Chain A
Amino acid sequence: MIELSNVSKTFTLHNQGSAVIEVISDVSFAVASGECVALTGASGAGKSTLMRMIYGNYLTQAGEIRIGDLDIVQAEPRDVIKLRRDVLGYVSQFLRVVPRVPTLDVVAEPLRAVGVSVEDAEARAKALLGQLNIPERLWSLSPTTFSGGEQQRVNIARGFARAYPAMLLDEPTASLDAANREVVLSLIEDAKARGSAIIGIFHDEAARARVCDREIDVSHFTPGMAA
C-alpha cells in the first residue's frame, strides 16, 4: 500500500548562509495493507521528517513514495488533496482547528468532506468521542481550551473518523493515561484488521510491541548519524 524507493531529503536554509542539511538519504521500504510498521531512532534521526514526506507536507528531493497508485513526490497538489481526503489519514501530535468550532464538528469534518450526511457523521463522531472518554458536556465546545491530553484524543477521534486505507500516526499514545492508551491501541488494531497500512512513531515501547509488526530504524538513513 505504501512504498518508498530510494528516498532522500535535504533542507536548504537560504537565510542562514544557504546551509544545506542532508536529513534522509536513500530510504526504501514498503508497508502492506493490514500491516503496522514503527519508525524508530533517536530524537533528531528524522522519524517525523520521513512521516511528513510521506504525507506530502515536506518535499522529497529524490526517489519515489507510492501510496496506492499515486507517487506523492511528483503528484499535483489537487491529487495530494484527493489522496488525503480519500486514502491517507494522519494523526499529528498537534490539533490545528478553526477557533470556536465545536469539538463534534471538528471530529465529523473528515466525514462531511466526503459527503457523509450530517446525522451519520455526527453519530460516528459521538461514538468515537465517547469511546475516547471525552465528556459529553465538552462536545459542543471548541477544543482550543481543552487540556493537552483531551486535545490529543480529539485529534485521534478526528483521525479515526474515517476508515482510511493508509494511516500515519505520530505518537498517538503520548500524554494519554492507561485507559485511553488502551482505547487508542484497540482503534489501531481495528484499523489493521480492516486492512489499513499504518506507519507509526511510538516512544511507548510496550505499545509499539503490541501493535507493530516490524520496526524500521531511521538512523540508518541519517547521514552523519549512521551507527
Chain B
Amino acid sequence: MTPLLSVQNITKRYGAHIGCADVSFDLYPGEVMGIVGESGSGKSTLLNCMAGHLTPDAGQVVFDTRTDGPRDTITMSEPERRMLSRTDWAFVHQHARDGLRMGVSAGGNVGERLMAVGERHYGDIRDKATDWLGRVEIDAARVDDRPTTFSGGMQQRLQIARNLVTGPRLVFMDEPTGGLDVSVQARLLDLLRGLVRDMGLSAIIVTHDLAVVRLLADRLMVMKSGCVVEAGLTDQVLDDPQHAYSQLLVSSVLQV
C-alpha cells in the first residue's frame, strides 16, 4: 500500500535555533497519528512544515495525490499546493479565530470552501453548509449568524465543519481541543472519532493532552528539542515508554 503522506528528513531552523530536526515517518490511509511533547519541542513547527505553512530547510513531504500519485508538496508550485490545501487537505487551528472568517456568517464560512472548489449553485451550497452544521451539532437556525456570536466550542466545531465539507483525505490538527472545557472536549472527541471512522480520514494531531491521543490516535510520536525521541503504537508508547523523556511525560500526568 502507498502511504498517503511520506515525510522524509524534515528539518527547520530558526537561525541557529532548531525548530525540528530530521523527522521522517509514513502515514497510511485511515491512520491517525498523534504528536506530543512539551511546549517548544517543535510539534507545531513540524505540523506547519508538513501543511505547507512553513518551508522546511531540508526534507520532503510526499503526498499521494488523487490525480498524479505521490508528489513532493514542498517543490510543487504554489497554485498546486493551494489547490491541495483547499481540497484534499484540511487544517484545524488551535484558535478557531485563525481558521474562520469572523465577519462572515457560519453558512458563508462553510460555503467558502465549496466555492473555492468550483461550486456555484447558491441553494446547493447553503444545503450542504446546513447539513454540515448539523453534523457538528450546531443548530441550523444559526446558519446566518456570525461566528463572533458563537461560544468557543461552537467556533471550534464550525471550523471543523468548514474544513471537512470538501471531503479532505488528510486533516492536520493543532491542539484541536485545547482551551475548551472538558464537556465540550468530550463531544468534540466523539465527533472527530466518528468522522475519522465514517469518512476514512487520516489525521495528524498535535497536542499535549495524553488522554486525547490515547482516545484518538493509532500511533504516537514523542518530540523533545525538535527531535523525535520515540515513536510507536499509541498504547505502547503510553504504557511502556522507552525513552527517558517519554517516561517522564507519561509519569507526570495527574490522575483524575
Contacts and interface: CB of A to CB of B under 8 A. Distances in A.
A74 B251 CA distance: 26
Interface in A2-23: 11-15
Given A57-B240, A58-B239, A77-B218, A112 B247 contact: no
A99 B233 contact: no
A177 B186 CA distance: 32
A12 B243 CA distance: 9
Interface stretch (B35-43, B72-80, B123-131, B189-197): B189-197
B232 interface: yes
A184 to B, nearest CB: 24
A57 to B, nearest CB: 4
Interface string B183-211: 10011011001000100000000000000
Q: Which of B28, B183, B236, B242 has the most CB of A within 10 A?
A: B236
Interface residues of A, number: 21
Nearest to B31: A78
A13 B218 CA distance: 25
B239 A98 contact: no
Interface string B15-54: 0000000000000100100000000000000000000000
21 contacts: A12-B242, A14-B243, A14-B247, A56-B236, A59-B232, A77-B232, A78-B31, A78-B218, A80-B233, A81-B31, A98-B186, A98-B189, A98-B190, A98-B193, A98-B215, A99-B186, A100-B183, A100-B187, A100-B190, A112-B197, A113-B197
Interface of A: 11-15, 52, 56-59, 77-78, 80-81, 96, 98-101, 112-113
